Amino acid sequence: MRTIAIDAMGGENAPKAIVQAVLQAKAELTQTKFILFGDLNKIKNLVGNDTDRVEIVATTQVINDEDEPVKAIRAKKDSSLVVAAQYVKQGKADALLSLSNTGAILACGIFIIGRISGVARPGLMPTLPVKNSDNGFNMIDVGANAKSKPEYILDWAKMASYYAEKVRGIKNPKVALLNNGAESDKGDELHQKAYKLLLDSQLNFIGNIEGNELLDGKADIVATDGFTGNAVLKNIEGTASVLIHLLKNSLLNNGFFVKLGAGLIKGALKKLVSKFDVDKYGGAVLLGVNAPIVKTHGRSGKRAIYYTIKQVDKILSEKIIADFKAEFTHHK
Amino acid sequence: MRTIAIDAMGGENAPKAIVQAVLQAKAELTQTKFILFGDLNKIKNLVGNDTDRVEIVATTQVINDEDEPVKAIRAKKDSSLVVAAQYVKQGKADALLSLSNTGAILACGIFIIGRISGVARPGLMPTLPVKNSDNGFNMIDVGANAKSKPEYILDWAKMASYYAEKVRGIKNPKVALLNNGAESDKGDELHQKAYKLLLDSQLNFIGNIEGNELLDGKADIVATDGFTGNAVLKNIEGTASVLIHLLKNSLLNNGFFVKLGAGLIKGALKKLVSKFDVDKYGGAVLLGVNAPIVKTHGRSGKRAIYYTIKQVDKILSEKIIADFKAEFTHHK
């Protein structure tokens, strides 16, 4: 039996959407147990009689987006997130899922659950959309680290490649390095050295990728330093959201015929918007810590959370953490 | 009389669109002389009888996008770009405009025309679109430097701020630092130090800006290290182009009514696409060298080139290079 610790108080739709998603996933994932952390009465009401394989742990505090991450996990020791992380640390749960403050989730991963020995730094990895397929690509690190070293980037690429193969079912995944040009000598010292490490590795390294090519689907995994990865990830979200906003505005403010046209293309537009809806691709995984820690967007509704629970369960069923431990502890 | 050296052989529409744009701009800019560098016969034919204030300098080589920049400017000494840069260096022209290989233009700026004494590193600065106005914002550096230092970022922000005020007419322009969070202690050492330098400067520094906020119009100038700036600039172009591609596809492949709708919204869509057409905002300026060097997109047509010529002329008329020289040589 696998056990997933679920922070039921994070995000805009907590705890309702979270509990509903758990109940839906539970019906399907018959080998999995769920522990919900948060407001006992509220959660109890939402769970109702469906209590099989569901445990509730009452907590009294909540970490907000405004909280300073490291301070918050120290000050709010009875928060749903911190208690859930403690359960994972103590072996009472196998994985952690939260919709809360990204920084606080990272801090729980690094300071409470702890990194895998041999992995220099954990990396945060979302799945992002690509142009011509529904598969998407993984980018790592997108901001768990402000400062990166070439060896970190190699570790992230290794873990991401293994993840893509096992969890996403991509054979021999193509790994690229985000850089400022195609040639092997491009970039600063960090990226030149990372290039060499990736080239000398056993990975299916296809070379550098530039910022304009990310969504083209050339690579299954884009390895990047955490600072650039963070800027680029946020920029994809920002650019897509501004474009969609401008498109909607221009469809509403250009007279009757444009409005009529807009009505006719509504369905096609919705599909497009959903492609750039990060929720669809599941949560971002913190790779390199002693248990799967998955963060999904605070805006996520029941459906997105349900898919993320299935993603966490798949990570557990593939036992990739045990493999990471063997790989990294062994080699270093 | 001001003189602009124009590389007539760069870009997809050379030399025709370039010569046509020069002739159009010339009619308006009566205090400006133009020197066109490239294929003598072709350019002569295009200029026709309109030879007043237009000089042609015959060159025999062309630098392509595939050329390795530094090698190319050494090997192709009789290329339109290199000879144009030599004219600027020798004081026979006051500014350089090219649609050619960005790296080669930067190399001409740094190795032929030379940096302003007191400016540690020149920075490349495009103007990019924002959500709710037609003004756009400037981002610097977007890739003239793979490796940056805090002092470089301060110099870029100073030059960009001066440029925004003089050339773009923005009073007391708001300067932000691209970083991985809003708080003053965010980022790696480079960005923490750059933050302090900007805060202690005379600039109207409004703090950090994150990748998702760039197009919101919060800042008139976004200062960034060249590596991240390059990734983000390319990513804005890439994300916008993928979204527009997907939108067009989904409008064409969803049956009769969607196609009908698409026909009705065509005009509104065109406006949107044009907002993300970088050409509209003029060329990217290399700031910190001894003369204005402006690069505009290789795809630019007559209209975009015409606007860029006017931009170069405005830079010359405001004499900002002389001011930079006084400012930076004086203070260091």
Q: Are strands A133-140 and A127-130 parallel, antiparallel or unpaired?
A: antiparallel
Classify the complex by whether its ipTM is higher than 0.95, answering yes or no: no
Q: Is the pLDDT of residue A278 over 70?
A: no
**CA-to-CA dists, residue B216 to A238, B124, B129, B230, B300, angstroms:** 8, 21, 9, 19, 26
Q: Which of B90, B91, B93, B86 is nearest to B54 (CA)?
A: B93
* CA nearest to A228 within chain B: B228
Q: Band the pLDDT of A51: cuts 50, 70, 90.
A: very high
Share of chain A above pLDDT 90, in %: 81
Strands B204-209, B174-178: pairing is parallel
CA-based nearest residue in chain B for residue A177: B231
A152 or A256: which carries more pLDDT confidence?
Answer: A152
pLDDT of residue A49: 96
Q: Do A2-118+288-319 and A125-275 agree at the fold level?
A: yes
Q: Cβ separation of A263 and B261 shorter than 8 Å? A: yes
At residue A104, the pLDDT reads 96
Q: Which CATH number fits domain A2-118+288-319: 3.30.43.10, 3.40.718.10, 3.40.50.620, 1.10.10.10?
A: 3.40.718.10
Full 3-state SS string of B166-229: HCCCCCCCEEEEECCCCCCCCCCHHHHHHHHHHHHCCCEEEEEECHHHHHHCCCCEEECCHHHH
pLDDT at residue number B56: 98
CATH architecture of A125-275: 3-Layer(aba) Sandwich (3.40)
pLDDT tens-place values along chain B, 332 residues long: 999 999 999 999 999 999 999 999 999 999 999 999 999 999 999 999 999 999 999 999 999 999 999 999 999 999 999 999 999 999 999 999 999 999 999 999 999 999 999 999 999 999 998 988 878 999 999 999 999 999 999 999 999 999 999 999 999 999 999 999 999 999 999 999 999 999 999 999 999 999 999 999 999 999 999 999 999 999 999 998 888 888 877 777 777 777 777 777 777 777 777 777 666 678 999 999 999 999 998 989 999 999 999 999 999 999 999 999 998 986 54
Average pLDDT over residues A121-149: 93
Interface check for A277 against chain B (CB to CB < 8 A): the answer is no
Residues of B in contact with A251 (CB under 8 A): 265, 268
Q: Residue A156: what pLDDT?
A: 98
Find tokens 């409004």 and name the residue: B206
The answer to whether the CB of A171 falls within 8 A of the CB of A260 is no
Q: Would you call B258 and A265 a contact, using CB atoms and an 8 Å cutoff?
A: yes
- Report helix, strand or coil for B33: strand
As a whole number, mean pLDDT of residues A111-116 equals 97
User: Measuring CA to CA, how many Å separate B82 from each of B59, B212, B264?
Assistant: 9, 38, 48
A307: left (phi over 0), alpha (psi -120 to 50) or beta: alpha
Separation of alpha carbons B174 and B183, rounded Å: 17
Q: What is the pLDDT of residue A248?
A: 80
DSSP states of B259-295:
HHHHHHHHHHHHHHHHHT-GGGG--EEEETBSS-EEE
B110 close to B85: Cβ distance less than 8 angstroms = no
Listed by start position, the domains of chain B span 2-118+288-319, 125-275
Interface with chain A: mutation pick from B239, B244, B266, highest number of A CBs within 10 Å? B239
SS3 content of chain B, % helix, strand, coil (to 5): 50, 20, 30
The pLDDT of residue B278: 60
Mapping DSSP to helix (H, G, I), strand (E, B) and coil, where does residue B55 land? strand
B189·A147 Cβ contact <8 A: yes
Closest alpha carbon to A276 in A126, A140, A128: A128
User: Model's pTM, two decimal places?
Assistant: 0.91
pLDDT at position A233 is 95
Q: Which residues pair with A177 in a beta bridge?
A: A208, A223
Question: What six digits make up the tokens of A173?
Answer: 């995944």
